Chains A and B, each alone.
Chain A
Amino acid sequence: MNAPQALITGNGDARQTLIVVFLRGAADGLSLVPPIEDDAYYKARPRIGIPKNEAVKLNGFFGLHPNLAPLSPAFAEGDLAIIHSAGSEDQTRSHFEAQDLMEHGGVAAGGWLGRFLRARPAPASGALACVAVGKALPECLLGAPTVTVMQTLNDFALGAKSPALRPELERLYAMETGQLGISARDTFDALLRIDAMRTTPYEPANGAAYDTDEFSDGLRQLARLIKADVGLEAASIDIDGWDSHFTQQTLLPPLVAKLATGLAAFRKDLGARMATTTVVVMTEFGRTVQENSAFGTDHGRGGAMFVMGGGVRGGKVHGEWRGLGELEKRGLSDSYADLPVRNNYRNILAPILQRHGAASEQLASIFPNFALTPLGIYAA
């Protein structure tokens, strides 16, 4: 059995964890973080704009969607940063292409998070160094040295009905040399640790109350792994369904609430451990500035990103914002336009990765063919 210090991999004593939340389907940044002091916003969205009196006030100019209210303490306490007009250079406005490009970190083999985990001097290698909550490996984690795809901690078990199977497999795989043997040993290692956790019920700290939806539950499991020091360095978790082409007012509120209550509970639960944990929330692109005829919005360009924890310069909307006066044309239309991408997602991820141990020269291979100008989301 491994000595306790071996539980900590890659980033050593720092024990930093990066959680990537991907809002799939293109979340409408102008509903999540509406520019409530800009009349142009209400002109563009006469029926579906977030009313000024309902929005959570941030810094005067921007507000938060009312259902993001659970996150306003994080913002007020300087633990949550917002970047507006964020996104990628992808012009296809295709979910698939844009997610792919963003998760790959450009036109590159493997995903940006996978490359990060592999590129560092001490690559992440424990079976629980990286967890993808869900059923499949997300593109951003392609190429990672190891990823465990799981829905819940209870999944991480073996042969409850045939207890003799595990030791026999362990014996056989111990004879394996090469990558298969390493992967197997990582897996047995992780099983031991998870077994120990399973035998005790989990009590979230600080009175944190997680909801019962998959997102909150996934975050609960991740919080537990972080606090158990199993060496979790990166995790991904998604919320699907943001593609609000019609009746946005009924589609978005439950999703926004899910996002906010999950993240708020997670932050509360981790308490002081948030200082070494970063949560980044991203989406493939934003949506049209103007509403469409079906009370919805269509595929656009700039959206909103959120960075929580990990010593971020929170309580602030970072990055370039030039208002709704200068929009990006969509095709030939003069009346239907997009918020331009003024803050490339890589310039937000790069400083996060640096904080999580990437050397600046490694950033070039994590985000190839891109001239980085990292945003100042951390104190210099």
Chain B
Amino acid sequence: MNFSRRTFLTLGAGALAGIGAGCDPKRARTDIWRRIGKPTAMPMDGSLKAPAGTEIDEVSHAISRLTFGARAGEYARVAAMGTPAFLDEQLAPETIDDWQCERVIRHEFDELGEPASRFFQRKANLTDPLQQMFPGLRTGGARVGDLYEFKEKVLLSDLTRATILRAVLSKRQLFEVMVGFWSDHFNIDPSKAECKWLKTADDRDVIRGHALGNFREMVRASALSPAMLWYLDGRVNRSKDATEKPNENYARELMELHTLGVHGGYTQQDVMEVARCLTGWTVRDQKKFFKGRVEFHVDLHDDGAKRLLDVDIPAGGGARDLDRLLDIVALHPSTARHIAWKLCRRFIADEPPVAAIDATARAFTESKGDICTTLRALFTTPEFRAPEFRAVKFKRPLHFVVSALRASNAETNASNELVQLLLRLGQAPFRYPTPDGYPEEASHWQSTLLWRWNFAAALAQNDIKGTSVDFEKLSGALGGDEAVMATFLGRLPGEAERAAFHASGSGLALLVASPAFQRC
């Protein structure tokens, strides 16, 4: 008889009588996930009034930076509520009713359910046959060990598609934008070893669980994320005795990438001390029960005294060394500056103004790493709002593609064809090998223009499987070409753009491929 380990655990031996040899639950589940759902678009409702200025105004600017691009009607909605209220709304995603997006995600990707966090309460649905079969799903998505029931390719495909769908559909746009930001910041390439399964939990519990939470808590969650312990070798960082040297891989990236930054003022000695603090944390071996579980082995921990960044950590701390270490690095002034610089680079300009970095870093420090407070400070700097920094960022490929799908109100199921196009453009989610995450600056992304233009043509011709646009319907709803152009560009078209739109034979392709649409 062929049944899974977890089915045994959740259903109990009695229930197994109902599972015959021909009914392999593992296979059944895998097949369920393979059924790609129907393409979905968000309904167009409310006022669809397009921008009417000749330049990007504050409303268009806020939308283009805080979201994956304007949908029809978004400009009118934000203009009516005002940008401060829009910012309030986006910084409180739990108050946004996002049932359409949630429904798609839960229908297709139940293992990706939201974590129990202060933002999202997971609802039990007793009529859901999957929840009946797997009670664990009623409370918090699949548990880490449960993920091993899936084929790894299914998990990567689900995670990738769900990420794209959420970016396209969710009303919690800033939350999704920040999920993307932290996915790069704490990048894990799922192709490495057990990360194939465990990255799914990392995405849910670390990235999505803390994307607008507290930075220190997020670093802590990441440090204890089984996927991170695999990806950066923390699981083999041990020190049984003086002869065994700790593995510094994670320690270095924690300092260089996750917290202080490469010029953050730490030394090689500090990296070694961090590694010592973290010795003994590991992931339950793949061949054992409860595989994927994170454990602390005190016998593998170097329990001597440490000195990190001129702060003494006394001997005998055991597992608490982790928190001592986080107390030192997570809110260190260099960390504040590093995170502020990265956020400003993402949201203001590739070379962000120093004043904005200062203000953002100050908010980070004063709020003890509260991400919402930090973002609010950034978005209210004069620099963020200054006209000179509008439309100066070059959209990264995912942003570009998603913004086109949003502006055109495309129905999509984020099928593999779309993912392949993103790969061609150089940025599909969860395909970046190094821990530094996809680069942010324009220079990395400008040599693949041809593929952007080809994406635009394919979208306009409905040549992408699982994605379709009804351009006439969109144009009709918006009230004509001018409004369509203004919706895509965030402002009225210039003379040249208008002429090109009409002469191109495909207004949609022209807009998506146009220079202005590459920027945000």
Asked whether, in the complex, the Cβ of B505 is within 8 Å of the Cβ of A162, the reply is yes
Whether A148 contacts B504 in the complex (CB less than 8 A), given A100-B434, A158-B457, A165-B510, comes out as: no
Chain B: number of interface residues, binned into ranges: 35 or more
Asked whether, in the complex, the Cβ of B500 is within 8 Å of the Cβ of A169, the reply is yes
**Closest A residue by C-beta to B432:** A136
Whether A162 contacts B509 in the complex (CB less than 8 A), given A168-B504, A175-B496, A180-B518, comes out as: yes
**Interface 1/0s, chain B 489-517, versus A by CB < 8 A?**
00000001101100111100110011100
Q: How far is the CA of A137 from the CA of B433 in the complex (A)?
A: 12
Collect the chain B residues with CB atoms within 8 Å of residue A161's CB: 457, 461, 463
The answer, yes or no, to whether A240 is at the interface (CB within 8 Å) is: no
The distance from the CB of A375 to the nearest CB of chain B, in whole angstroms, is 29
Q: How far is the CA of A180 from the CA of B445 in the complex (A)?
A: 10
The answer, yes or no, to whether A327 is at the interface (CB within 8 Å) is: no
The distance from the CB of A100 to the nearest CB of chain B, in whole angstroms, is 6
Q: How far is the CA of A120 from the CA of B192 in the complex (A)?
A: 36
The answer, yes or no, to whether B424 is at the interface (CB within 8 Å) is: yes
The answer, yes or no, to whether A173 is at the interface (CB within 8 Å) is: yes
Asked whether, in the complex, the Cβ of B433 is within 8 Å of the Cβ of A158, the reply is no
Asked whether, in the complex, the Cβ of B394 is within 8 Å of the Cβ of A180, the reply is yes
The answer, yes or no, to whether B133 is at the interface (CB within 8 Å) is: no
Whether A183 contacts B424 in the complex (CB less than 8 A), given A158-B457, A168-B500, A169-B510, comes out as: no
Q: How far is the CA of A164 from the CA of B503 in the complex (A)?
A: 7
CB < 8 Å neighbour of A171 from B189, B426, B444, B500: B500
The answer, yes or no, to whether A156 is at the interface (CB within 8 Å) is: yes
The answer, yes or no, to whether A37 is at the interface (CB within 8 Å) is: no
Q: How far is the CA of A183 from the CA of B426 in the complex (A)?
A: 16
Collect the chain B residues with CB atoms within 8 Å of residue A137's CB: 426
Collect the chain B residues with CB atoms within 8 Å of residue A164's CB: 503-506
Asked whether, in the complex, the Cβ of A156 is within 8 Å of the Cβ of B450, the reply is yes
Asked whether, in the complex, the Cβ of B514 is within 8 Å of the Cβ of A172, the reply is yes
Whether A179 contacts B446 in the complex (CB less than 8 A), given A96-B192, A162-B509, comes out as: yes
Identify the B interface with A (CB < 8 A).
Answer: 189, 192, 394, 420, 423-424, 426, 431, 433-434, 442-444, 446-451, 453-454, 457, 460-461, 463, 496-497, 499-500, 503-506, 509-510, 513-515, 518
Identify the A interface with B (CB < 8 A).
Answer: 96, 100, 127, 135-137, 139, 142, 144, 146-149, 156-159, 161-165, 168-169, 171-173, 175-176, 179-180, 183-184, 187, 191
20 new A-B pairs (CB below 8 Å) besides A127-B447, A148-B450, A168-B504? A100-B433, A135-B423, A149-B451, A156-B450, A159-B457, A161-B457, A161-B463, A164-B503, A165-B453, A165-B506, A168-B500, A171-B500, A173-B515, A175-B496, A179-B442, A179-B446, A180-B442, A180-B518, A183-B447, A184-B449
What are some 30 contacts across the A-B interface (CB < 8 A)? A96-B433, A100-B433, A100-B434, A127-B447, A135-B423, A135-B424, A142-B444, A144-B447, A149-B426, A149-B451, A156-B450, A158-B450, A158-B454, A158-B457, A162-B457, A162-B460, A164-B503, A164-B504, A165-B505, A165-B509, A165-B513, A169-B453, A169-B513, A171-B496, A172-B496, A172-B497, A173-B515, A180-B446, A183-B447, A184-B515
